[in-house]
Amino acid sequence: MKNRPDPRPETLAAQADHFLDPATGAIVPPLVASTTFARNDDYSLRAATSYSRYGTANWQQAEGLIAKLEGAAAAAVLASGLAAAAAVVMTLRPGQRIVVHDTMYWGFLAWLKDFSRQWNLDLVLVDMTDLAALERALAKPTEIVWFESPTNPLWQVLDIAAIAKLGKAAGARVCLDSTVATPVLTRPLSLGCDLVMHSATKYLNGHSDVLAGALAVAKADEWWERILFNRTSVGASLGPFEAWLLLRGMRTLYPRVRQASETALTLATHLASHPKVERVLYPGLPSHPGHEVARRQMQGGFGGMLSILVKGGGEAALRVCTATELFHRATSLGSVESLIEHRHTVEGVHGVSPPALLRLSVGLEHPDDLLADLEQALAKA
């Protein structure tokens, strides 16, 4: 019998779901490297799995925690964020329709366009900040609605509850890439989504040392079974060490995301009135067009990601980017160290970033150090 209320998500994360190894008393899960698992004398399986492509104890621990943090019926970890997204899209059959927001993680959109052509999917791109446009796009039978919020790298905020309502009214499965918001700030299933996807490479792990993806669902139905089949049948399985590192990283998820959000708001507020900065894109600023929606669907912060538009265009932005001394010039996001990136240079043909844009992933360094670094770099614009 429990003498206390159910633990809050921060408590579950900090304790890795109160892990305790019955065999050894260890409170840190052991790394199970074995790929194969023995059978009993009567040939029954000893463990839940026979072979590690189908799962290992280290997966199950990470999945159990993610499911609880998202308030999900079930969760799955996969080899990368893109593997997770692909496992969902591959439930579609030729001719079926998928409606997506017109800007999202470029790598996924590039793959989706290519796969849709090959697989004869009816892929529809729509600006979901315009709910009437979304409703028109959903007039034909639609299987999947897919979007992100905030969107990378312009940090548009999409109204999750409104999009989920329209999607479900049209009979679609509503899926959200919640990598940037994390379960700390937004719980998409409670806002009506059917499925949440994470690039666990980012905030969930948080230390730039694991490539992983995660999915969590409101209902563990036949569709979910097909997604799990897509994962293991093509071998998009996460290695046990990656799962182990992911669980370890998630223990500090809540304080990391809250600190990064606080520092990002400090930087955004400061940069908004900087003479060398044209505009700051950050949902936490009252001037941001999505601020009111963000206040409704993000709790306790607006995330650690922002972009700035440097006055003087692309060349000025590159001068700033190449002058930082603490911000690493590197891609990716959601880790303990701060990163800066000139997206226009790296996006190529699928790009949406104007040349003046610099994307900042705010880490856990002292905010004054980060500000001082940006100040000296902006002086070179």
Ligand X SMILES: *Cc1c(COP(=O)(O)O)cnc(C)c1O
Q: Is 279 a catalytic residue?
A: no
Beta carbon of residue 6, minimum distance to ligand X (angstroms, whole number): 30
Cα 122 to Cα 125: distance, rounded to the nearest angstrom:
10
**Active-site entry in 105, 203, 254, 282:** 105
Nearer to ligand X among residue 37 and residue 240 (C-beta): 240
Cα 105 to Cα 110: distance, rounded to the nearest angstrom:
9
Contact characters 110-149, ligand X, x per CB under 6 A? --------------------------------------x-
Which of 61, 129, 156, 199 lies at the binding interface for ligand X (CB under 6 A)?
A: 199
Residue 257: Cβ-neighbour burial (10 angstroms; 0-12, 13-18, 19+): buried
Does 62 contact ligand X by CB under 6 A?
A: no
List the alpha helices (DSSP H) in the chain: 9-14, 57-70, 81-89, 106-119, 131-137, 160-169, 182-185, 222-233, 240-250, 253-272, 291-297, 313-321, 343-347, 367-378
Residues comprising the chain, all counted: 381
Check residue 279 and report its DSSP letter: E
Phi/psi class of residue 155: alpha, beta or left (left: φ > 0; alpha: ψ in -120 to 50)? left
Which of 58, 80, 205, 208 lies at the binding interface for ligand X (CB under 6 A)?
A: 80
Per CB under 6 A, which region of 33-41, 115-123, 199-207, 265-273 contacts ligand X? 199-207
Q: Is 53 a catalytic residue?
A: yes
Does 208 contact ligand X by CB under 6 A?
A: no
Beta carbon of residue 67, minimum distance to ligand X (angstroms, whole number): 19
Site for ligand X in 326-365 (CB under 6 A): 333
Cα 236 to Cα 257: distance, rounded to the nearest angstrom:
27
Nearer to ligand X among residue 37 and residue 59 (C-beta): 59
**Inter-CA distances, 103 with 136, 157, 161, 344, Å:** 18, 11, 19, 14
Beta carbon of residue 61, minimum distance to ligand X (angstroms, whole number): 20
Per CB under 6 A, which region of 48-56, 172-180, 255-263, 289-297 contacts ligand X? 172-180
User: How many chain residues bind ligand X (CB under 6 A)?
Assistant: 17
Report whether 118 contacts 273 (CB < 8 A): no
Q: Is 68 a catalytic residue?
A: no
Amino acid at 121: L
Which of 70, 177, 242, 341 lies at the binding interface for ligand X (CB under 6 A)?
A: 177
Does 303 contact ligand X by CB under 6 A?
A: no
Which of 108, 155, 203, 327 lies at the binding interface for ligand X (CB under 6 A)?
A: 108
Nearer to ligand X among residue 61 and residue 103 (C-beta): 103
β-strand 213-217 against 277-281: which pairing, if any? unpaired
Beta carbon of residue 332, minimum distance to ligand X (angstroms, whole number): 7
Does 82 contact ligand X by CB under 6 A?
A: yes
Cα 320 to Cα 228: distance, rounded to the nearest angstrom:
45
Report whether 302 contacts 185 (CB < 8 A): yes
Does 179 contact ligand X by CB under 6 A?
A: yes
Beta carbon of residue 212, minimum distance to ligand X (angstroms, whole number): 7
Which of 101, 202, 344, 359 lies at the binding interface for ligand X (CB under 6 A)?
A: 202
DSSP 153-213: TT-----HHHHHHHHHHTTPEEEEE-TTTHHHH--GGGGT-SEEEEETTTTTT-SS----E
3-class SS of residue 109: helix
Residues that bind ligand X (CB under 6 A): 80-82, 105, 107-108, 148, 152, 177, 179-180, 199, 201-202, 211, 213, 333
